[in-house]
Structure 1
Amino acid sequence: MLTHLKLNNFKIWRSTGQMPLAPLTLLFGTNSSGKSSLIQSLLLLRQTVKARDPNLDLNFGNQDAGDSVTLGQFRDVLCRRGAATEVVRANQIGIEFGWRGGEDRQSIGGFTARYEQGQGGSADLAYLRIGQGSLGFTAQRGRHGAYKLWAADVRRAIGQSPNFKPQRSFAFSRAAAEALGARATPVLSVGPTLLAELSRIIYLGPVRRSAQRDYLWSGRFPGSIGDDGGQAVDALIASGVAKEEARRRRLPTPSAARLFDETAYWLHSMGLADDLQVRQLGRSARYELLVVNGDGVSNLKDVGVGVSQVLPVIVAALFAEPGHIVIVEEPESHLHPLAQSQLAEIFIQVSRERGVQFIAESHSEHFLNRLQRRVAEGVVLPGNLAAYFCQRSGAAAELEPLRLDEFGEIENWPENFFGDEMADIAGRTIAAMQRKRAAKTGGAE
């Protein structure tokens, strides 16, 4: 689980300050207020540590390579009106986050990095600290591309060498490992832990893949559902086929059918479908996903777009294993208010029962209202919910933590949080009164 995030001079953010993250973390705000940039920083690091090129300090992304984010070059990511702090210069990008991991989910780790512009618009690592308990290291670039290296909390540097440059912001070359010798253990062992933590992220973008009339299925469960949810229906088909096969053989329902049954349950609770069915097209490898409503059965392509857009969100939540981090933008897209409220119930249940962390960027008042209600009812502890309001302040962004009390009330409700609802109500009432008065006066004349 990610415990906090801090950005300096990253896109619209001069500084977020330290931003605590909870099992349920919500990001609200106006358009172009920096919400997506918060998420992009984590995706940027995830695709960096997974990149094949060891010389990339930050992998800004290549759309043709299927990267999660494509951010251009260093100058496109550096805040145009960057601000210096005690440790981060105005021409540097700073990214920091913490995590709690391990088998007991109690081991504390941290990542802090600063980057400067390199050749050809790339990023050069200026400073890096990764730590988890007694393991970890600090690397700092000196003159002529050499890096000083400290192990864990030891103040005295192990040495200085160009070989001590961390690769992909977390690992070391074979030459560095050989040079460290017996001192390598506390330095090298923390990198795989960071890689494992970032690999736990399941991301869904704001635009999910449109429904298809039929799907070519490989015959296996997909390993992921994709950033656009493109493999979510494949996962449902695999689960549905397992269920149907067991029914046909009169066997107990297998665990593989859980995804299919639970997805159908949540669609029903949201008022979107009574059930789901999977149908093979002849003896081919192509399958239809059918939506049942009452006595009618419709192809997924022929029902409202809200169903196809929310299916990946539901599947992502149910697909996640304990310790996974589900990051989703606009989960409420194309949904009516009841369905938006029920989305909150999915996140609450999966987070509580299976230890999955959710970070959601949303514009939905109904989504937030349901979470506030569950806090008031004692179902969600205030400490397990973090909510932030992002807003523009000139050319930069500001982050306002929303203070939620034990009764689910937001103590510092931002101005125009979900638009100016009270002004609209007052304006409508005044206009109605004026028109009624005018009509009455005209009738009297």
Structure 2
Amino acid sequence: MPLTRLTVENYRCFSQRQDLEIRPLTVVLGKNNFGKSALVRAPRVMSTGIRNDSPLPLDLSLLGEEPPDFVDLVHGHLEHGNITVGLEFAADIQPLRLEATVQNIDEWHTQVVSRWLLEAGDGSFSLDWLDSEDHADGDERPYRFAGPGPLNGEQVMVRFEGLLPFISGQLDVELMLFRDIIRLEFDQIRYLGPFRTRPGRTGRLSAKPPGRDGDIGRDAASLLIYDHVRRGGRLITKINEYIDGHLPGWELDVVPKYSAYAVGLRSKTERTLWVNLTDAGTGVAQVLPILVGRALDELDPPKRPILEIVEEPELHLHPSAQAELADLYLVAIERTKVRFLIETHSETFLLRLRRRVAEGRLHPDRLALYFVEKNGKGAVAHRIAVDPLGNVDYWPQGVFAEDFEETRALTLAQLDRQDDNAG
């Protein structure tokens, strides 16, 4: 398990330090606008500082269309503020922990790594920026180094590529190994947001296979069309195994439409009956990218660790389907190297996970639950421990209590009406 923990401080709505342990299945819940999305998206933000050669500590342009400005990441949106990010790895050689504070320099229109710390086993290296106008425009800036060797306490000139430092001389030779490990061990990040693109009425066959790690919410139909024409429909067959029993009497199918193709549902009993996915239920269209992703990973398991961020996978699904979706993710963590960081509002999804723990089908060490709530200083992520019987040591007050409260109110209203009628 490469990435085992991430840390944020002064980030978005989190003014205090937050540590999020990454398990094969990490689930974040909470009320709206409390910071869940900001927390689950943090690995994407951190990835912009690991696998690039940009002089910016975080190259937010890599996040795609309409990326946030750095100040948007700072708690309170302070123009001269900073954020702290941390990554912890279970590397093969020795555990590593990287932590960096990124300072916005408004008058320079850029950001600088103001403090950098690397802990490797029993040793540590740190760099503290020596603020100087003389190096405002240069790639190299002066830092105070602390660590083993004759340069301890000395000033060194450092060039950063993202969050990783480069220092001239022998010291850089020592750091080079750790840089390579961090870049290698940092998971490939996938992201599936809450607004999945609905498939078009038709689509064309692409000249080459659509990218697996792009926007699968947008490319799901293209992947299915390519699979149908070029690969014998094995992807569609696997997806139909997933949906068998949840869409009684129907199966996913791709048909030619003039010079293009269309994705839809075909009746198993009336083979001439076919419905374009555009005209099917919203829930089917919203869950399709999830099913495509799981089928792709099962048919061609990734060779390197993947962390897939999924926001609200349960959108527009019936509660029974939400429970089955939880099982789908459990199968995925057993059969592939993909791990999941999921934001959800679904009580059914969570209850299914707890049930599988109680049944012994999911070890509690493979699951991490967090509840995001607010206190007087901002948002906090509260870890919810799950024991081997599926019991939890903490449950947020007022969350998922709606069913009970509505049933209680209904009963009271019925009793009142009966009393009125009796009178």
TM range, normalised to the smaller chain? 0.7 to 0.9
Shift of 1:55: 1.9
Matched residue of 1:15: which SS?
coil
Question: In the alignment, which residue of structure 1 is the partner of 2:59?
Answer: 59
Shift of 1:94: 1.0
1:357 aligns to 2:312 (yes or no) = no
Matches within 5 A, 1:36-435: 36-50=37-51, 54-61=54-61, 67=64, 70-74=67-71, 76-80=72-76, 91-101=81-91, 108-119=95-106, 122-130=110-118, 138-144=126-132, 145-149=141-145, 156-157=151-152, 160-162=155-157, 164-170=158-164, 172=166, 176=167, 179-180=168-169, 182-198=170-186, 200-227=188-215, 229-244=217-232, 258-271=234-247, 274-282=250-258, 284=259, 286-294=260-268, 295=270, 296-320=273-297, 321-322=302-303, 323-394=305-376, 396-435=378-417
Partner deviation per Cα, 1:165-198 (whole Å, 9 max, x = no partner)? 32211253xxx4xx22x54333123334333444
Q: Which amino acid in structure 1 is aligned with residue 200 of structure 2?
A: Q
Q: Tell me the distance in 1 between the aligned counterparts of 2:397 and 2:211.
A: 43
Cα distance, 1:355–1:69 mapped onto 2, change above 3 Å: farther
Cα distance, 1:134–1:324 mapped onto 2, change above 3 Å: farther
Do 1:94 and 1:112's aligned partners in 2 also have CA atoms closer than 8 Å? Answer: yes
Cα distance, 1:67–1:48 mapped onto 2, change above 3 Å: farther
Shift of 1:393: 2.1
Matched residue of 1:339: which SS?
helix
Q: Which runs of 5+ in 1 are unaligned?
A: 83-89, 245-256
Q: How many residues were matched structurally?
A: 404
Q: Tell me the distance in 1 between the aligned counterparts of 2:375 and 2:402.
A: 19
Do 1:225 and 1:231's aligned partners in 2 also have CA atoms closer than 8 Å? Answer: no
Q: Tell me the distance in 2 between the aligned counterparts of 1:10 and 1:353.
A: 34
Q: Tell me the distance in 1 between the aligned counterparts of 2:343 and 2:418.
A: 42
Shift of 1:81: 9.6
Do 1:43 and 1:68's aligned partners in 2 also have CA atoms closer than 8 Å? Answer: no
Shift of 1:271: 2.9
Do 2:113 and 2:129's aligned partners in 1 also have CA atoms closer than 8 Å? Answer: yes
Q: Which runs of 5+ in 2 are unaligned?
A: 133-140
Q: Tell me the distance in 2 between the aligned counterparts of 1:3 and 1:220.
A: 35
Cα distance, 1:160–1:16 mapped onto 2, change above 3 Å: closer
Q: Tell me the distance in 1 between the aligned counterparts of 2:115 and 2:246.
A: 48
Matched residue of 1:279: which SS?
strand
| Percent of paired sites with the same residue | 26
Shift of 1:278: 2.2
Matched residue of 2:95: which SS?
strand
Shift of 1:338: 1.6
Do 2:187 and 2:307's aligned partners in 1 also have CA atoms closer than 8 Å? Answer: no
Q: Which moved more, 1:230-239 or 1:24-33?
A: 230-239
Shift of 1:277: 2.0
Question: In the alignment, which residue of structure 2 is the partner of 1:249?
Answer: none
Do 1:232 and 1:312's aligned partners in 2 also have CA atoms closer than 8 Å? Answer: yes
Do 1:11 and 1:78's aligned partners in 2 also have CA atoms closer than 8 Å? Answer: yes
Q: Tell me the distance in 2 between the aligned counterparts of 1:334 and 1:17.
A: 31
